[in-house]
């Protein structure tokens, strides 16, 4: 059963949901949280990662590093033309061009790499890894990211499938004044955004985290981002601390959903810090959800009951191999593989849809 908001508030009250918590802990507590590494490998992912967790586990069980596993896992989804939220076949921007974002983090070396708004490359997660391993930078964007990828032998492809193009055309043909270009507005403005308000836009993405046979943790997040976005828009996925974060001694976290809400809350690093404080992965994810709700001040981003009119989901794994996920609205799922088989598990949530 997913946890409800009430359970969460009770459990979280000691720590103060929605408040920013310092990462500086008494070392005894930090040691206690990190002292018991998971004895067995585990892989978690967003719900579209059922095949990804199987592949990642296969790589890890044959001795691969957690990062080898999660990147091989998400490559399956990036290559899948039927997943319109990631890689090849992802829904394009408002100009009909597919632009992808991805990031990786490697726990044992605490390094990260990312690309944003990269065109024509099917596997941005592999380019993100190459940025980490073969440059002194962390994030490359747009034309520069593409040039870097080509320098390293990545081949260009047309990423726009007919299915994605037709969906884009339908969106374009039905546009009225309700698009992303907003007139001047303030906190109390409501009637803009209309049908195309954030709740109704595609925010797919895949996040995958894993612990390998050595107890090391790594993760990846990859996406084609918000459907029909303004060209050049970058979401949370390639931003370390927002779309994903790892501390090899504590755990990993990642996100899917409305990137804008996550970018202004840096939730993945917060989730890892909440886990450092001793919170379970699920409670840490719920606290990140609550923090987004607490910071959501703009009227155009609220429903009639004052709740967000968008969703965000978080996935977390701690050093002991415990995992959890949560979203603002019911009922999300996450994919899990603990060594035998892949399964979907219900996520906790703040609000019943
Ligand atoms: N979370 C994916 C995005 O907003 O781009």
Domain boundaries, the chain: 3-351
Give the count of alpha carbons within 13 A of 209, CB side only: 33
Query: How far is residue 176 from each of residues 102, 158, 180, measured CA to CA in Å?
Result: 31, 29, 11
User: From the CB of 222, is ligand 1 less than 6 Å away?
Assistant: no
Question: Closest Cα partner for 247 from 209, 217, 281?
Answer: 217
Q: Which helix (H) or strand (E) holds 351?
A: strand 348-351
pLDDT given at position 352:
94
CATH class of 3-351: alpha beta
User: From the CB of 296, is ligand 1 less than 6 Å away?
Assistant: no
Q: Of residues 84, 130, 161, 205, which has the active-site annotation?
A: 205
User: From the CB of 107, is ligand 1 less than 6 Å away?
Assistant: no
135: left (phi over 0), alpha (psi -120 to 50) or beta: beta
Residues whose CB is less than 8 angstroms from the CB of residue 97 and which lie 6 or more positions away in sequence, other chains included: 119, 160, 231
**Cα distance between residue 47 and residue 207, in whole Å:** 9
Which residues in the chain show pLDDT less than 70?
1-39, 173-184, 190-203
pLDDT given at position 187:
79
- Catalytic residue at 205? yes
């Amino acid at each position: 059963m997913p946890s409800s908001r009430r359970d969460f508030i009770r459990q979280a009250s000691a720590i103060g949901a929605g408040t920013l918590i310092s990462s500086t802990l008494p070392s005894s507590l930090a040691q206690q949280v990190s002292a018991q590494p998971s004895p067995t490998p585990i892989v978690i992912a967003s719900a579209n990662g059922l095949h990804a967790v199987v592949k990642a586990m296969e790589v890890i069980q044959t001795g691969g590093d957690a990062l080898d596993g999660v990147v091989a896992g998400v490559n399956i989804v990036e290559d899948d033309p039927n997943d319109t939220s990631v890689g090849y076949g992802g829904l394009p921007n408002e100009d009909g061009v597919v632009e992808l974002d991805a990031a990786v983090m490697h726990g044992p070396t605490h390094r990260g790499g990312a690309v944003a708004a990269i065109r024509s490359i099917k596997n941005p997660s592999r380019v993100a890894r190459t940025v980490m391993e073969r440059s002194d930078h962390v994030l490359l964007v747009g034309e520069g990211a593409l040039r870097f990828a080509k320098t390293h032998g990545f081949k260009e492809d047309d990423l726009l499938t007919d299915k994605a193009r037709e969906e884009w055309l339908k969106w374009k043909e039905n546009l009225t004044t309700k698009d992303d270009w907003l007139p001047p507005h303030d906190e109390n403005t409501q009637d803009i955004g209309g049908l195309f308000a954030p709740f109704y836009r595609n925010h797919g993405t895949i996040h995958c985290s894993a612990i390998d046979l050595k107890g090391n943790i790594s993760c990846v997040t990859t996406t084609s981002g918000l459907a029909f976005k303004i060209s050049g828009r970058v979401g949370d996925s390639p931003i370390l601390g927002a779309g994903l974060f790892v501390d090899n001694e504590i755990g990993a976290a990642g996100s899917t959903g409305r990137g804008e809400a996550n970018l202004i809350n840096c939730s993945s690093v917060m989730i890892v810090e909440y886990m450092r404080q001793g919170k379970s992965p699920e409670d840490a994810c719920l606290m990140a959800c609550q923090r987004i709700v607490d910071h959501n001040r703009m009227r155009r981003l609220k429903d009639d009951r004052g709740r967000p009119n968008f969703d965000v989901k978080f996935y977390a794994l701690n050093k002991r191999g415990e995992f959890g996920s949560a979203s603002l609205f019911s009922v999300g799922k996450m994919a899990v593989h603990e060594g035998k088989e892949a399964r979907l598990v219900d996520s906790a949530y703040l609000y019943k849809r």
